[in-house]
Structures are given as structure tokens and as C-alpha cells.
Chains A and B, each alone.
Chain A
Amino acid sequence: NAGVTQTPKFRVLKTGQSMTLLCAQDMNHEYMYWYRQDPGMGLRLIHYSVGEGTTAKGEVPDGYNVSRLKKQNFLLGLESAAPSQTSVYFCASSPGFSYEQYFGPGTRLTVT
């Protein structure tokens, strides 16, 4: 099993550009999450999903959109990137029978 994978690993965007981050999990997990990690700020939840076709806002959702059309994939979109969105983005998934979250390797995004 590959676990949780994230694409791409690195990306540089110019202000105003758009992009989509892909998260895929092969563990048949119900729950999926998108976090951003910034120095000294810990992990902040952007959006999450409790099952295929569902999404919900987390702590810092502004400027991001998500979709979960397939159970194994959770997409994070930036419609108009801003320098404040420079961060490391982590995707995580969790099974229905456990609270444990399994994290991907992260995507380092720089917006100039």
C-alpha cells in the first residue's frame, strides 16, 4: 500500500495563478483532511471530508476550495494564489473505526 500520496511535492506560483493539489489514499478511509503548516503555527485545518461527496470548512478555509468526488481522492484548489498561502500543505486520512490520522509527505508551495 502506498498510504497517502500528495501531488505535486513542490510548486512555485505567481500571485493570482491557480492550482490544484491532489491527495490520494489507498486505505479505503472515510475521512480526509487538508492542513497547512507554517512555522510556529502548528497544523491548521483548511477543509475536511467525512465521506465521498461531502466537504466541510475547517479553521482557515478562506481562499481554498475542495472536492471529494471519489472516496480515495481529496482535491484542494487555490483559485487566485496569494503570498499568504505560501506554506507546506499536508493531506491526511482516517478510517471510520479509529481516530488515527495518516499523513501524506506534504506539498511545499511558494507564492511569489
Chain B
Amino acid sequence: QQQVKQSPQSLIVQKGGISIINCAYENTAFDYFPWYQQFPGKGPALLIAIRPDVSEKKEGRFTISFNKSAKQFSLHIMDSQPGDSATYFCAANAGNNRKLIWGLGTSLAVNP
């Protein structure tokens, strides 16, 4: 049972455009929502994360928008660059043992 649903599966954006990836969750006990970035042949790396008491967090060109009532959160990449081409995973923390529940990933391609 997929507890974190991520969409779209793949995304193509032109350089300079805005990339938007969405995630929806079911468990209201989740208390931490990270986004990870993975380049081909590498392990995922934390990009940005948010707690449910905040509606938005921005780090450079990357922004997380969080809607607690709708149980949704999204990643916005402003001024997308070819170097942003990667797979992006959303996740949610599921308790004190620090287990993350992962989305299935979004493959982003930014055309030059």
C-alpha cells in the first residue's frame, strides 16, 4: 500500500521554466517531509525538507509548499536548469525509528 503518492512519474521542462512535483500522503502522524535528489549512478541526497507546522520553505531556487488540510506537499524548482535533470523523491517520516516512507520518484529532464 503506497502511503505517499508522487506525481508525475516523469516531467520535461524547458530551461528557465518552473518544475512542479506533487506528493500526497495519508497518515496524519507523519511529521517530516523531505525531498531527495538523485543523479544517475549516485545515491539520493537530501535537497530540502519541511515540518507540518510550516506552509512553505524556500532554499534558493527550490521551494516546498505544504498543505496540511489537503495532506499534500509539492516541490517547485524555479528557473529550472539542465543540471537539475535528475530523479526526485518525496518522503515522509513514519515514527521514532526514523523510517522514511518514499514516493516512487519523478524523472525530471530540463531541456537546454
Contacts and interface: CB of A to CB of B under 8 A. Distances in A.
A30 B2 CA distance: 27
B52 interface: no
Contacts, number: 51
Contact of B93 (A50, A56, A99): A99
Nearest to B4: A42
Contact of A99 (B98, B103, B104): B98
B98 A42 contact: no
Identify whether the interface residues of B are mostly helix, strand, loop, or mixed.
loop
A2 interface: no
A99 B93 CA distance: 8
Contacts of A103: 43-45
A44 B102 CA distance: 8
Given A56-B97, A99-B98, A106 B105 contact: no
A43 B49 contact: no
B78 interface: no
Q: What's the interface size class on B, roughly? A: 20 to 34
A40 B104 contact: yes
Identify whether the interface residues of A are mostly helix, strand, loop, or mixed.
strand
B41 to A, nearest CB: 8
Contact of A43 (B32, B34, B102): B102
Given A43-B102, A94-B98, A99 B43 contact: no
B61 interface: no
Contacts of B9: 40
Interface of A: 4, 31, 33, 40-45, 48, 50, 56, 58, 90, 92, 94, 99-101, 103-106
Interface of B: 9, 32, 34, 41-46, 49, 89, 93, 97-100, 102-105
